[in-house]
Structure 1
């Protein structure tokens, strides 16, 4: 079974999250692999349908064309499969986050922007709210300054904060990529697993690979922003282009079912 993160793994990190698109080479490789392995699953913090939409490729296969693909969005709270999305209703606490986080960020001296000018951008994910500092004048400093206040706000609202590459995501507690991947491995009676990711949230998925007891490989889509994942990975590749090359090599190496 093959599992993957989306942003930074299949799609390059970009200043505006709405501009992220899967690398065409990765989508083409996954379209081949879907017919060769037991399952292909994408585990992402994005809404599941958004990941599929951003996986469309002009003139070639996109994520929706990957045979049997499952997308576990919002860290596993949503599931896209065969064109349908299933999920529980959004937690009511998210309404408070939407209403109050912009004012909290502003009160700390940071401009909230739609991305057209420098500042902090806030992404509504439906079941989570992400606070991005990539477009702030001092991205790292802004992230450090926001971490504690947002953490306290999330705790008071009964939520958790997921740190990432110049982003702090406020979301419901109790679900992470490790839980989502582990449950999927059991559901599909996986016999082996490869998981590729790029950010701190993917460490839980790496741990799920280890705890599964299956033959497993963890892959880091390396970046200068996050180095801890590379230390924990079995294989390190250079960003989404390296992931696409690895997936292509796997598709080339695995014989078709008729030849096994």
Structure 2
């Protein structure tokens, strides 16, 4: 089954491990449904912090080296694999290539829903509406907003990421990331409201983006589109909470997986299963592939 792509079988064998078990009844039922009828299951995944380790510079993020091989194998077994991310779809695909050359674009039937579901990558093509006018106005206003805090120690290191249809203010490089977040939260919220944008908090980042859609909306729409019978979603950040809620709201047997970190405890509290960061997510997916392949 895995020999069609060189080395996949060997790499999965080397990652062999028991399938982790959910800690909730709902999660156990979701996992059982996925194993019983994988051809009817949708596997949803965040990118940063879930498939790719968090780094100081988002442009330096790269997918876990074993993830593409595992996802190629998984894509052959389930109804669909979907990446739901705040990133633009183009960067998710670009940064989703492993050192050996295998990447997300090789995953059978993969769909990437970027910018919280506004953009869609499928069959190597991107579809998206034009960005809202408020993004251009916020783009002009943000540098002055940050500079207005003057010579406070935390200002140095705060930087703005332009995602095209969204803008993210990062504080991870600041001398005091938490103080920077606290100081910027209210003025950024006011700026977003003034220009009709939504505020998306994250791990040492506050993003101003298109309103009216979140990862939960994107996931629910995709589940309906594919007539899914079960669902799993793995994420690591506050923006993934709506997707966790969507797993339950779908009415399907479902499993919510937290890619655990010390930075976002609330996600672990809402999860059916917590694994150890992106490496733990990849091991879980590999174990899922192995178990499905052996399932009668």
Question: Above 0.5 in TM-score?
Answer: yes
Would you say the 8 A contact 1:22–1:55 is kept in 2? yes
Could you say what secondary structure the match of 1:217 adopts?
strand
Q: Which runs of 4+ in 1 moved over 6 A?
A: none
What is the CA distance between 1:181 and its match in structure 2? 0.3
Structure-2 residue corresponding to 1:182: 220
| SS in structure 1 of the partner of residue 282 of structure 2 | helix
How many Å apart are 1:255 and its aligned residue? Answer: 2.3
State the distance in 1 between where 2:67 and 2:289 align: 11
Instruction: Name the residue aligned to 1:158.
Output: 196
Q: Indicate the residue corresponding to 1:213 in structure 2.
A: 251
CA RMSD in angstroms, aligned pairs only: 1.6
Shift of 1:160: 1.2
Instruction: Find the counterpart in structure 2 of residue 172 from structure 1.
Output: 210
The structure showing larger relative contact order (alpha-carbon pairs under 8 Å, at least 6 residues apart) is 2
- The alpha carbon displacement at 1:208 in A equals 0.5
- Which stretch of structure 1 is more off in the superposition, 148-157 or 58-67? 58-67
**Structure 2 residue aligned with 1:106:** 147
1:194 maps to 2:232: yes
Kindly indicate whether residue 83 of structure 2 is the aligned counterpart of residue 42 of structure 1: yes
Tell me the alpha carbon deviations over residues 65-108 of structure 1, each in whole angstroms, 9 at most, x when there is no partner.
Answer: 10000000000000000110000011111101111111101102
Query: Residues 1-260 of structure 1: matches in 2 within 5 Å?
Result: 1-109=42-150, 118-255=156-293
User: Alignment partner of 2:66: what SS?
Assistant: helix
Deviations 1:165-224 (A, max 9, x none): 000000111000000000000000001000000000100000000011111000000111
Q: Which has the larger radius of gyration?
A: 2
**Deviation at 1:110?**
6.3
TM-score w.r.t. the length of structure 2 is 0.83
User: Could you tell me the TM-score, scaled by structure 1's length?
Assistant: 0.95
CA distance in 1, matches of 2:130, 2:224: 25
Secondary structure at the counterpart of residue 116 of structure 2 = helix
1:60 Cα deviation (Å)? 4.6
Distance across 1 between alignment mates of 2:111 and 2:150: 41
The answer (yes or no) to whether the contact 1:118–1:136 under 8 Å persists in 2 is: yes
Q: In 1, distance between residues paired with 2:98 and 2:237?
A: 24
Query: Residues 24 and 60 of structure 1 are in contact (CA less than 8 Å); yes or no, is this contact kept in structure 2?
Result: no
